[in-house]
A = this chain, B = another copy of it.
Amino acid sequence: MAQKPSIPKGTRDFSPIEMARRNYIFDTIRNVFALSGFKQIETPAMETLSTLMGKYGEEGDKLLFKILDSGNYLSGIDCELLTAGEPCGKLTSQLCEKGLRYDLTVPFARYVVQHRADLQLPFKRFQIQPVWRADRPQKGRYREFYQCDADVVGSDSLLCEIELLSIIDEVFKRLGIRTVIKLNNRKILAGIAELIGAPDKIVDITVAIDKLDKIGIDNVNTELLERGLSEQSVKALQPILAIDGTTKERLLKLREVLASSETGIKGIEELETVINGAESFGVETQVELDVSLARGLNYYTGTIIEVKALDVQIGSITGGGRYDNLTGVFGMPGVSGVGISFGADRIYDVLNALNLYPETATAVTTVMFANFGHEEAMYSLSVIKKLRDAGISAEIYPDAVKMKKQMAYADTQKVPFVAIAGTEEMEAGTITLKNMIDGTQQNLSIAELINTLAIS
């Protein structure tokens, strides 16, 4: 019975050329991670739901893909739950004990706690694996996508932040993507909120600062009042909203304004250390303060990092920050960490938009041998063996069909060379090599063939 096959919405197949490009991205990131002393780990796709639930907020719990228990999963289930109008929450936890990981951070925290006896802190780990979210699929948002994370846990040294900035710098330099690294510090935001007497309004303040350029100071102030800030708070915020200039200038002015807030000053000092350290480390990417940066505000406790591409309109392509209690929820308090996550899918989109792939990021065989029949094929195999031993990818067309068809195949596969071995070549111990780009042909000894293809 024929089915019209398809894949679940929000998921993707990757074709050979897409894989070559994705591998180029992953390999680049992996190499920079390793060069920087980070060690790779992998965790299972499935985690127990008790590991995942409650870590991503109520909305996150709903977006977890849950795995139905095997066997007779309804046995022992409360019948009332089955026939009640609102089945989801409680019933699900009885039907399912496993779920697909939602990110790499919670599995990493679980890993650290579970393997604490074998781990030497500080632990610098990286992890490149897919994650799954039952999000509404839309352009650029998938239900299965890769994350590429690097984290240092077990040290609160700002050298870790500096290290991560240098990784960002190096990865995007290698990929050829021009970026700006935006930095903020949770403590600066806390200092501002403290200063204006609205410690619970951090988010509203960052939203307002973010809109300043677009809607102007008057509209921002109106909005802040609407969001429940007192007139006094809004007034107190004005000197901060007025700050402009370069990052160094703004840090100087912020230091004056926040002078009375110990937390605020601490945040500024941390940021200065990170920015100056990155300079010492030779980071060439522009690093700038962005006080409106508030990503991950519910768990970041210090540095906040976001990377934007300069030449393509797209959301942030990398982000991260410092968290002070990653593993606390699993019973191991006091472990500080800082991490970044490269958004492989968006980076892929940026590279596509700018056509920045190197020539090596293709899935092309160097030479295809035409097939003239059994004897010729056996001769070709012996030559192919020598080519492969020399590191040259080579294959033979499997069927002795018409030459036109074989050449058409070589064309669609973008094979740059076709090798022809007929009776004459077999007798002479040679190969005729056709260059598929300029159409020229050469008769070559096997040694010459290897040399020619090794250089090309």
Given contacts A5-B330, A35-B388, contact A73 B88 (CB under 8 A): yes
Distance A40 CA – B111 CA, assembled complex (angstroms): 30
Check if A357 is an interface residue, CB within 8 A of chain B: no
Instruction: Tell me which of A157-165, A179-187, A190-198 binds B.
Output: A157-165
Residue in contact with A399 in the complex, picked from B82, B134, B155, B365, CB distance below 8 Å: B155
Tell me the minimal C-beta distance from A285 to chain B in angstroms: 14
Contact with B along A362-378 (1 / 0, CB 8 A): 01010010010000011
Contact with B along A143-164 (1 / 0, CB 8 A): 1100000001001010110110
Asked whether, in the complex, the Cβ of B16 is within 8 Å of the Cβ of A120, the reply is: no
Asked whether, in the complex, the Cβ of B87 is within 8 Å of the Cβ of A73, the reply is: yes
Instruction: Tell me which of A122-130, A316-324, A419-427 binds B.
Output: A122-130
Distance A366 CA – B19 CA, assembled complex (angstroms): 31
Tell me the minimal C-beta distance from A138 to chain B in angstroms: 16
Residue in contact with A398 in the complex, picked from B48, B73, B155, B363, CB distance below 8 Å: B155
Tell me the minimal C-beta distance from A101 to chain B in angstroms: 11
Number of copies: 2
Residue of B nearest to A114 (CB): B5
Asked whether, in the complex, the Cβ of B7 is within 8 Å of the Cβ of A382, the reply is: no
Given contacts A13-B115, A92-B68, A111-B13, contact A394 B37 (CB under 8 A): yes
Distance A37 CA – B19 CA, assembled complex (angstroms): 14
Query: How many residues does chain A have at the interface if contact means C-beta atoms less than 8 Å apart?
Result: 112
List the B side residues contacting A159 at CB < 8 Å: 371, 377, 381, 396, 398-399
Contact with B along A59-92 (1 / 0, CB 8 A): 0001001111011111100010011001110011
List the B side residues contacting A282 at CB < 8 Å: 381-382, 385
* Dominant secondary structure of chain A at its interface with chain B: mixed
List the B side residues contacting A118 at CB < 8 Å: 15
Tell me the minimal C-beta distance from A412 to chain B in angstroms: 5
Tell me the minimal C-beta distance from A392 to chain B in angstroms: 8
Check if A393 is an interface residue, CB within 8 A of chain B: yes
Given contacts A3-B51, A282-B382, contact A41 B70 (CB under 8 A): no
Tell me the minimal C-beta distance from A178 to chain B in angstroms: 19
Tell me the minimal C-beta distance from A288 to chain B in angstroms: 20
Residue of B nearest to A46 (CB): B8
Distance A225 CA – B384 CA, assembled complex (angstroms): 50
List the B side residues contacting A72 at CB < 8 Å: 86-88
Distance A5 CA – B328 CA, assembled complex (angstroms): 12
Residue of B nearest to A162 (CB): B381
Residue of B nearest to A135 (CB): B70
Given contacts A3-B331, A6-B114, A16-B40, contact A68 B66 (CB under 8 A): yes
Asked whether, in the complex, the Cβ of B47 is within 8 Å of the Cβ of A8, the reply is: yes
Tell me the minimal C-beta distance from A325 to chain B in angstroms: 12
Distance A14 CA – B107 CA, assembled complex (angstroms): 12
Given contacts A82-B74, A82-B82, contact A44 B394 (CB under 8 A): no
Check if A262 is an interface residue, CB within 8 A of chain B: no
Residue in contact with A7 in the complex, picked from B8, B114, B330, CB distance below 8 Å: B114
A to B CB contacts below 8 Å, 23 in the list:
A3-B51, A4-B331, A7-B43, A7-B46, A7-B51, A7-B110, A8-B97, A8-B98, A12-B44, A13-B43, A13-B115, A35-B391, A36-B395, A45-B45, A45-B132, A45-B144, A65-B67, A67-B68, A83-B83, A155-B399, A157-B398, A281-B382, A282-B381
Given contacts A71-B88, A95-B95, A163-B395, 11 further A-B contacts (CB under 8 A): A3-B331, A7-B46, A14-B43, A19-B40, A35-B388, A35-B392, A37-B394, A68-B68, A159-B377, A163-B396, A166-B385
